[in-house]
Amino acid sequence: MESFNVAILGCGTVGSGVAKILLDIPEELSIRANKKINLVKIVDLYPGKSASTYNLPIDLFCGGGKDLTREEASRYIEEIITDSSINLVVETIGGTSDYLHDVMLRVLKSGKHLVTANKAMLAEKGNDLFSAAQQNNVLLGYEASVCGAIPIIKTIRESFTGDKIIEISGILNGTSNYILSTMQNEGLDFPTALKNAQEAGYAEADPTLDINGGDAAHKLTILIRLAFGANIDYFSLHKEGIDQISKEDIDFANEMGCSIKLICYARQMNGKIFAAVKPMMVKSENFLSKVNGATNCVQVNNLYSGKHYFVGKGAGSLETASSVVSDIVFAARYEQKAISMPELKNCELIEAGSIMLPYNITFATEDRPGITGLVTTAIGSQNINIDTVSHNRHNKEKAYFSVVTMPCTLNQVKQAIAEIKQKAPGLLLEEPKILPILY
């Protein structure tokens, strides 16, 4: 049987999982690939620690088992790139440094397949990587970059080719979903829920990318490019995080029969793309409202076949590694027939303020009569129809209440808030919180 040789760059959580799977089930993988898949080299700065921690053979590591300087690691990486016997390189170093981008580019230009879980690199600097893969007739595999073990990339790329995707929505970040779920189910405030997530191992010591929407936006950018063939700029994508979600917001959501989720949403509209990552109130009849804990879920809405849901673990060593290995098997089996990314067309992002959606607007005001009437009158003056107005909730000297609108634009809502501030200066004790409602 023909050999197919693999090298791994970086042997942390994901890289070690890839190595373990390749070493644990080589016969099964080789049968599926119709080639003998061999793990031949690993480059890691701390091979002794990695080999011991993850129970891997030390002789697979470059450098004879001693710790490497960055210069030594770079030299071994260069040897792998120029080694004609190596067919595929797995990148699990992570980050978006120019150095790593150059390494990935040179791997592809050398005629080797490249598999990565690096969503940040693909979202922010991926265009020339995909171009290099096409020009050199090699695979750039990235199944593991979106939602870990959920096979959403291959499904969109292969299974939906007879249909047209019109909308994607979903929960693409497990850490934020774990935090919001515990806030809702256990009545916790955000700081406490975040601390619990860190103690449980779901949130990093620095959770910024998870809670500010950045990680989810990386994944949504990749899905938009694949599903719609649209080249969008990650940095232009509208992003909001969950750090401002309060216990009062959760209470209002419960009152409305909703769950608050960090939702990734994208839709094709007249040749343009509306896309955003932001907290939304998801109605209980929507399946996404029931996805709790660190679970991920992607909803794909097709023109002909309707809605499809993909649910599973979005992170974890072996979960993510299994997706990396699936790309390795795919590359080994299909080689030059493998497809990385369709030809992309430049696509304009629709300004978020112009999209019609129902909204929940939460106001914090002085606790005195007549305030609800003043607020609802200002909302009505912007031609916004009101669905419901909640009961007041009191927190010390503040009164909290929410107004649920019928579909309108965010620009209309902001104009109504500006009118309230003009007519009653000082009435609003906090900036109103505006959350779209997803049915």
Give me the active site residues, please.
219
- Residues with Cβ within 8 Å of residue 77, at least 6 apart in sequence: 9, 43, 103
Would you say the C-alpha torsion 212, 218, 220, 225 has a positive or negative sign? positive
What is the spatial distance between Cα 73 and Cα 67, in angstroms, rounded to a whole number?
9
What is the spatial distance between Cα 127 and Cα 424, in angstroms, rounded to a whole number?
50
What is the spatial distance between Cα 149 and Cα 314, in angstroms, rounded to a whole number?
6
CA distances from 243 to 54, 175, 190, 194, 247 (A): 34, 12, 7, 9, 11
What is the spatial distance between Cα 435 and Cα 428, in angstroms, rounded to a whole number?
17
Helix runs in 34-97, H state only = 47-54, 70-82
What is the spatial distance between Cα 326 and Cα 34, in angstroms, rounded to a whole number?
13
Residue 302: how many CB atoms within 10 A of its CB? 16
Residue 65: how many CB atoms within 10 A of its CB? 12
Report the SS3 class of residue 42. Answer: strand
Q: What is the dihedral of CA 105, 90, 118, 268, to 10 degrees?
A: 80
CA geometry: angle at 143 spanning 139 and 145, to 5°?
A: 110
What is the spatial distance between Cα 363 and Cα 360, in angstroms, rounded to a whole number?
10
What is the spatial distance between Cα 153 and Cα 429, in angstroms, rounded to a whole number?
45
Quote the DSSP letter at residue 432.
P
Would you say the C-alpha torsion 16, 319, 90, 14 has a positive or negative sign? negative
Helix pair 127-135, 98-109: axis angle to 10 deg: 10
Report the SS3 class of residue 344. Answer: coil
Assigned token pair, 178: 């774990």
